[in-house]
Amino acid sequence: MKTKKPSQTERRGFIKSLGGVTAAMAALPALARGQAAAPPRKAGAKYMGDFAAPKIAKVRIAIIGVGGRGRGHTSRLASIEGTEIVAISDLYEDLAKRSEQRVVDKGHKPELYFGDPNLYRTMLTEVKPDMVVVATPWEDHAPMGVAAMRAGAHVFIETPITVTLDEMWQLVDTSEETGRHCMHMENVCYGREELLYLNMVRQGVIGEVLHGEAAYIHDLRRQMKQEERGTGSWRTHHYINRNGNLYPCHGLGPVAQYMSLGRTEDTFGRVVSFSSPSRARALYAKANFPADHEWNTKEFKAGDISTSIIKTALGRTIMVQWDVQSPRPYSRHNLIQGTKGTLAGFPNRFAIEGVNNFHEWTEGEAWEEFVAQYEHPLIKRVGELAKKMGGHGGMDFIELYRMVECLQNGLPLDQNVYEGCLWSSVGPLSEKSVSEGGAPQDFPDFTRGNWKTTKPLGIIA
């Protein structure tokens, strides 16, 4: 057990860097902003699009960050056959020990590392895990991911994969140089409805796919009350310092998979973004905190709602929205439109020519009756177990199950490093577009042209 009591400076130290995120983006070279061709692949590096690592019979797992997300991941991973939780690292002792108890009860004996923000590096060196899960504040994702891969581990990083294009290139290059997976953990890609629509699209139910709509709309103002610890203690500083589509992947990931973007036929082209005025968080702060509180003494830059429009290389379109501050119902939107019809979520509905009156939505029991024939094989295989294991209705468990299954069987992952970077790159690109009055921004080609030979994601049996 490696420990060090964190100082107040260490607990809040990362905040100092957040104010420079936007400035750092503006200072990046044109190449990193996607305004020019990708840099050449380094000598000896390997394209990772369809990469399959050697089989690992028993996957030794370390988790960095066991707060809101990592705690559940740790417990669920410990329940999957053929895993061993070998280490847990967190800044806080109580969080590390809480997760330790949850996995000890399942027969695991992890080493604990807490109290020092850099002890995860010691953990990687001493424990040498096969697999590392990173569930920490966004700005820590890239350095932790790079360190894990250089230590010989496959790394799985919570969404977004990181916050700047420069760091995305670091993850891509390190994955290619080390031959280690770097997967962006977009759990919504494993939701029942998302997998169902993926199967329907692959079977041609809505014809040629032309347009998608995606969102993450979730009133999270209450997180501002997490002042010293918790998600709000660090995310709130992003909202103060950045203005754009800061969390695009929950909605965008599934739509990108429907369209097979970054694989074989099409990829991301350009994006334009606009933000509304920023009002909701300042009003919430005024109503809930003293006048001299930090939240009332700083200006919130993030617009209440951000809207981005993506144009793909083939000319298809995607609308992506982000709003975690407005008083409105939760939605990921999730719409995919083709030449024969449209599938949509929140609420689940469809309009398909030749199947129903496509001038009206089919919903409720009629929706269930029709789509039952297209239930994704993965849901049929592990869906009931996933419901019992939990995590956003089971999608978290299915994601973790697939991560382990792919490593154990030497299979390519469902999400490669390039997709994670493409989806997440909407964040920094939208910031730049907003700052330039909605000017179009070109997506970097993180694959360096190899997306044209990458197989589309199949329907996993």
Check which CATH number belongs to the domain holding 274 and give it: 3.30.360.10
Q: Pick from 158, 188, 218: which residue ends a domain?
A: 188
What is the reported pLDDT for 2?
A: 66
Q: Give the burial class of 432: count Cβ atoms within 10 A of its Cβ; 0-12 exposed, 13-18 middle, 19 or more buried.
A: buried
Report which DSSP code applies to 187: G
What is the reported pLDDT for 421?
A: 98
Q: Is there a cis peptide before residue 160, judged by omega within 30 degrees of 0?
A: yes
Residue 4 lies in a domain: no
Residue 394 lies in a domain: no
Residue length of the chain: 461
Residue 367 lies in a domain: yes
Residue 9 lies in a domain: no
Please indicate, yes or no, whether residues 287 and 318 belong to a single structural domain of this protein: yes
Please indicate, yes or no, whether residues 241 and 266 belong to a single structural domain of this protein: yes
Please indicate, yes or no, whether residues 174 and 288 belong to a single structural domain of this protein: no
What is the reported pLDDT for 6?
A: 52
Which residue range is the domain that position 318 belongs to? 189-379+416-453
What is the reported pLDDT for 16?
A: 44
Label the pairing between strands 83-90 and 59-64: parallel
Query: Are 33 and 441 a contacting pair, CB within 8 Å?
Result: yes
Please indicate, yes or no, whether residues 74 and 159 belong to a single structural domain of this protein: yes
- What whole-number distance in Å separates Cα of residue 101 and Cα of residue 103? 5
Identity of the residue numbered 404? V
What is the reported pLDDT for 461?
A: 84
Query: Are 403 and 413 a contacting pair, CB within 8 Å?
Result: yes
Q: CA 272, 277, 282: angle at the middle one, nearest 5?
A: 135
User: Quick count: other Cβ atoms within 10 Å of Cβ 401?
Assistant: 23
Residue 13 lies in a domain: no
What is the reported pLDDT for 45?
A: 97
Please indicate, yes or no, whether residues 75 and 146 belong to a single structural domain of this protein: yes
Residue 392 lies in a domain: no
- What whole-number distance in Å separates Cα of residue 270 and Cα of residue 268? 6
Residue 168 lies in a domain: yes
Q: Pick from 188, 203, 237: which residue ends a domain?
A: 188
Q: Which residues of the chain have pLDDT under 70?
A: 1-36
Please indicate, yes or no, whether residues 206 and 156 belong to a single structural domain of this protein: no
What is the reported pLDDT for 24?
A: 42
The enclosing H or E element of 407 equals helix 395-409
Residue 174 lies in a domain: yes
Please indicate, yes or no, whether residues 167 and 220 belong to a single structural domain of this protein: no
Please indicate, yes or no, whether residues 162 and 204 belong to a single structural domain of this protein: no
Please indicate, yes or no, whether residues 42 and 88 belong to a single structural domain of this protein: yes
Tokens linked to 187: 């759990």
Domain count of the fold of the chain? 2
Tokens linked to 364: 């409720």
Please indicate, yes or no, whether residues 331 and 301 belong to a single structural domain of this protein: yes
Please indicate, yes or no, whether residues 212 and 184 belong to a single structural domain of this protein: no
Burial code (b: 16+ CB inside 10 Å, e: under 16) for 301-311 equals bbbbbbbbbbb
Q: Pick from 126, 158, 188: which residue ends a domain?
A: 188
Please indicate, yes or no, whether residues 145 and 237 belong to a single structural domain of this protein: no
The reported pTM is: 0.93
